[in-house]
Amino acid sequence: MSGQGFVTGLLQRVLAISIAAGLTACSTLPRPTLLQGAAGSVPQASGGESHIGTLPPRKLAAGECAMFLWLRNAERKLIFFGAREGTGRAVIDGEEVGMKRIVIDGREAFGQYENQTFTYPGHRIQINVGFETRAGMDRGVVVSQGTLRLQQDDGWEYILPVGGLVACE
C-alpha cells in the first residue's frame, strides 16, 4: 500500500471507530455553539471575540509524523495540526497561523506528547490528550480523548473536546 493510501485508510478507519465510540462518550458532553465564518464552522464561547476555525486537509510527506485533532462533534472538522518538530497550525480569528510548541509533558508518541502548549502572539493553545494504541496501527496512535484550550491574553478562554490521531507516513 502506498504511503498516502496508508494514511488515508488509517484516517478513515480511525474516524469510523471514533464516531462509533463518540456516540456514547460524547452524548453527555456539552457542545460548543457553532457559527459560520470564513473558515467554515467555528466554535465560539458566548461573548468571546476570537475563535478556532477549520483547517484545510493535510497530507504527510514520506517519513513525516504529525498530530491531527478535530472537534468531537458530528462534523469532525480538523482544528489543529501539530508537526513532529514542535510546530502547530490552527485557524484563529479566520486566519491560519503557525505556532511554536513551548511546553511538553506526559507520554510521547511519534514526536507528540499527551500535554503540549503552543504559542502565537496574544494566544496560547494547551492540548491535553490520551493516546491509545490499536492493533494494526504500527505507525500511529489514536487520540481517544482530549481537550484543546485556547487562551487569549485578554482573558478569554475556549475549551473544546477533541479527538484525533498521531500518524506517520
Domain boundaries, the chain: 3-168
pLDDT score at 137: 86
Rg (alpha carbons) of the chain, rounded to whole number: 15
- Diameter of the chain by CA atoms? 48
∠ CA 122-153-128 to the nearest 5 degrees? 85
Q: Which of 74, 65, 68, 110 is nearest to 89 (CA)?
A: 68
The answer to whether the beta carbons of residues 152 and 144 sit under 8 Å apart is: no
pLDDT band at 9 (very low <50, low <70, confident <90, very high): low
Which class for 84: exposed (0-12), middle (13-18), buried (19 or more C-beta within 10 A)? Answer: middle
pLDDT tens string 12-35: 554 444 433 343 333 333 333 333
The answer to whether the beta carbons of residues 45 and 156 sit under 8 Å apart is: yes
pLDDT tens string 132-159: 999 988 899 999 999 999 999 988 899 9
Report the chain's terminal Cα–Cα distance, integer Å: 11
Is the whole-model pTM more than 0.75? no
pLDDT tens string 50-98: 478 999 999 999 999 999 999 998 888 999 999 999 999 999 989 999 9
Average pLDDT, the chain: 78
What would the grid cell of residue 161 be?
A: 473536546
